[in-house]
Amino acid sequence: MLVCYMKICDNYLFVHCFFLFQWLKIVFLVVIALVSLSTTAKVTYNVTSFGAKGDGNTDSTKAFLSAWASACNSTKTAVIYVPAGTYLLATAVTFAGERCQSSSITIRIYGTLVAPFNYDAIGNSGDWIRFHRVNHLTISGGTLDARGGSLWSCKTSGNSCPSGATTLGIYNSKNIVISGLKSVNSQMFHILLDACINAKLQGVTISASGASPNTDGIHLISSMGVTILNSKIATGDDCISIGPGNSNLWIETVACGPGHGISIGSLGWDLDEPGVENITVTMATFRGTQNGVRIKTWARASNGFVTSATFQHVTMVNVSNPIIIEQRYCPDKNNCPNQVSGVKIRDVVYEDIHGTSATQVAVKLDCSQGNPCTGLRLKDVNLNYVRGGKPAVSSCAYAAGTASGILHPTSCL
């Protein structure tokens, strides 16, 4: 800077100072770049280098576990690379994260992971592919095919068969991203998040026969801050099921059908049960599903609750129960001693719900005699009954709230 004040020649000095400044700036930027490079440096583990074979026949379970152990043990950002091909994971497999050193692990899948055709191989193990206590996990691309068809046949034939495995179960984990993943033909639930915090599922495709038993698309338990975006789910059971203890859930642009729709519940089986809070479903489409947006509770004593749920900008196409609250759920009238649900439902908004109903009762708000629903709000609900030439109707029991805007059928609140 001293040079600048020597006033020998203004022009020359200006140029001189300018270059000095530029030079310092470049040095500074290079240092920053080197520092950030060393902290974001990533290391790739190719499953084929650990012995995985994409031939569809070789059991690659051990290779995947070894690749995970190395990625987990890395002190850098780790990527597990699964090239194109069909990889058999012949047994249930758990990827444990509690001792991982890596700041994050990404599993980039270009291939398909398959389970054995014999359903017994994984049918009693809870989950086929399980992640436990992982922080910063991304699963991107790929297909999971649990080949559940033979187990569905066993179940529907009434024979005794294993309960079936969830295809992808993630437990006690944080900061999860699942992106562009496809899951087909799960034995049971396709994707389960249990006790997870901050998860984003986007561009997920789930597909199973409309007649397959218990093949829920995405099942959530006790999780917080889950976002599900731009996904397409066809199953034989719930598209997305929201169990006890979930909060701050955001579901946007999800297409469901066939299947049983998006369901909060079943809740209230246990007396002591965590509640469900702050759930948003926006821009969903239901096509030929049994339900659209449902809240379902057992007719049993419970201190569970549902507080603040919003269903908005939803399109129904030939849906049997487009809007439904059912608090008298008790199949076979078993285990529900006084037939009253203890679950308190309040502040549920249905806004801009339009399309067609496959049954005459398009809006059914059947709340608990012991704990009536409060703060229900219907705004711009326009549902037509597709058959029979009769107008759609709504039905309310123990339901309190307000209605405004377009209301077809006429509100019973």
Residue ranges binding ligand NAG (CB under 6 A): 44, 46, 48, 69-70, 73, 81, 83, 248-250, 278, 280, 288, 318, 320, 358
Measured from the CB atom, is 58 or 278 closer to ligand NAG? Answer: 278
Partners of 383 in the β-ladder = 355
Measured from the CB atom, is 83 or 372 closer to ligand NAG? Answer: 83
CA dist., res. 323 & res. 392, Å (int): 12
Measured from the CB atom, is 78 or 249 closer to ligand NAG? Answer: 249
The CB-of-81 to ligand NAG minimum distance in angstroms stands at 5
Q: Which structure tokens are listed for 282?
A: 């926006």
The CB-of-82 to ligand NAG minimum distance in angstroms stands at 9
The CB-of-369 to ligand NAG minimum distance in angstroms stands at 30
Q: Which structure tokens are listed for 184?
A: 């087909």
CA nearest 366: which of 331, 316, 413, 332? 413
Region of 154 (left: φ > 0; alpha: ψ -120 to 50; beta: rest) is alpha
The CB-of-161 to ligand NAG minimum distance in angstroms stands at 28
The CB-of-327 to ligand NAG minimum distance in angstroms stands at 24
Measured from the CB atom, is 78 or 403 closer to ligand NAG? Answer: 78
Helix (H) / strand (E) element for 68: namely: helix 61-73
Specify the amino acid at residue 323: I
Active-site residue list:
237, 260
CA dist., res. 191 & res. 263, Å (int): 15
Cβ neighbours of residue 43 closer than 8 Å, sequence gap 6 or more: 71, 74, 76, 77, 78, 79
Measured from the CB atom, is 291 or 327 closer to ligand NAG? Answer: 291
